[in-house]
Amino acid sequence: MTAFVRNLVDTYSSRPRSSGCPVTGHGAVQTVDATVSFGPVARDVPSPRHSPVPSEPSPSVRPANDPPAVSLPDAVEFLEQFYREVGAAVPFEQRLGQVRDEIAATGTYRHSRAELTFGARVAWRNSARCIGRLYWQSLRIRDRRHLGSPAEVAAECAWHLRDATRDGQIRSTLTVFAPDRPGRPGPRIHNEQLIRYAGYPDPDQGESGEHDPVLGDPRNVAFTNLARAMGWEADGGPGRFDVLPLVVTGAGHRAATDLFDLPRDAVLEVDLSHPEYPWFADLRLRWHAVPAISNMPLVIGGITYPAAPFNGWYLNTEVGARNLADVGRYNLIPQIAEQLGLDTSSTRTMWRDRALVELVHAVQHSFDEAGVRMADHHTESDRFLEHVAREKAAGRSCPTEWSWIVPPMSGGLTSVFHRLYDQPDPDLRPAFLPAK
């Protein structure tokens, strides 16, 4: 069983995974001290759901080589930016000398609390795929750099969700765990997001392929297979919206990979209904409130934090026009069109477009009725252009991927559609890096 599980981890980790919008939320601008949380040790540390996978981990679970020493030029570039934009009580030359000595002695250095906060916020500011960057200064940081075991990481991920959700008044939050150090990799969270729904291939349809029937979310079939091989099964049997467990590898070369269920009180979900069509509620659809990306390493001043989950809040079209509508996801458009009585005999009847509008309408209505924060694509487009203008006034570029900023519905009706942007720079730091 152990060899089988390792093989599944290798297979899952080697699959190409897109890097989503890092932190889609926004909120009131706050000061550094007011939005940084430090300590305590993980509370209510859970027990894993299975016997841990002993570590002789493969390169897909652990880096093939030791994490390299921090590059002094990378550290200097970050410190120069920090002192230029924020400043500190410690003179620059003094701080630079401290960092230089630490790198010479240990191969790395430790960020101050202010440096960590600034670096994480600028990583959001630099995220070319994120439309919600206007309020990048509001990102709340939970400093858990002293934690690296799977159980501690899992416990703090649950607390991250509780702290960020706030009964629907969602706030942008990032939790930082132990960094990579020369000779000691930091912990890894293998989930794409802290909350994802399982996907189960229909056993009566043979081997699963891209278009085979799937119960749940087809995007997560491989990860669901991994979790089940490690001993996980959903309570009550497979369903369409089973929350997947966390799979976490601890810090160090010989750390175990463990699996943990998320506590029920850490996951807020919204039942979907439509303001004009009572039958919509009978579809028994729902979606989780907090999009928390968990597999993108955060790099600040040459230091890599491999486990740094972060969230904003959803844009209506992320859920309605992508997660529930994409052919490779829940693919609900044909079902919605049938319920609406639309003529689906030809694409020229615009049945897909009409069904999509009603699906997004239902999602926005349901989140609003539940009191769960969700942005709409028109308002967020206008706010993004305000962010672009602010960055220009500050003398900074605003790297942007047009295809990610323009909403997947009614793009031409939004203000972000009708212009060009600064090209993304893959070498720009600080940054959230694409998941490997």
Would you please indicate which residues are annotated as catalytic (active-site) residues?
130, 133, 313, 318
Give 3-state DSSP helix, strand, coil % of the chain, rounded to 5.
40, 15, 50
Q: Are 144 and 177 in contact (CB under 8 A)?
A: yes
Distance of alpha carbon 209 from the chain centroid: 26
Give the whole-angstrom CA distance, residue 42 versus residue 36.
Answer: 16
Give the whole-angstrom CA distance, residue 139 versus residue 125.
Answer: 10
Q: Are 241 and 199 in contact (CB under 8 A)?
A: no
Say if residue 74 is exposed, middle or buried (CB neighbours under 10 Å; 0-12, 13-18, 19+): middle
Task: Report which of 339, 209, 204 is spatially closest to residue 274, judged by C-alpha positions.
Answer: 339
Give the whole-angstrom CA distance, residue 225 versus residue 5.
Answer: 9
Task: Report which of 419, 423, 421 is spatially closest to residue 411, judged by C-alpha positions.
Answer: 419
Q: Are 195 and 262 in contact (CB under 8 A)?
A: yes
- Strand, coil or helix: 48: coil
Cis peptide before 430 (omega within 30 of 0): yes
Residues 6+ apart with CB under 8 A from 108: 69, 70, 102, 179, 181, 182, 303
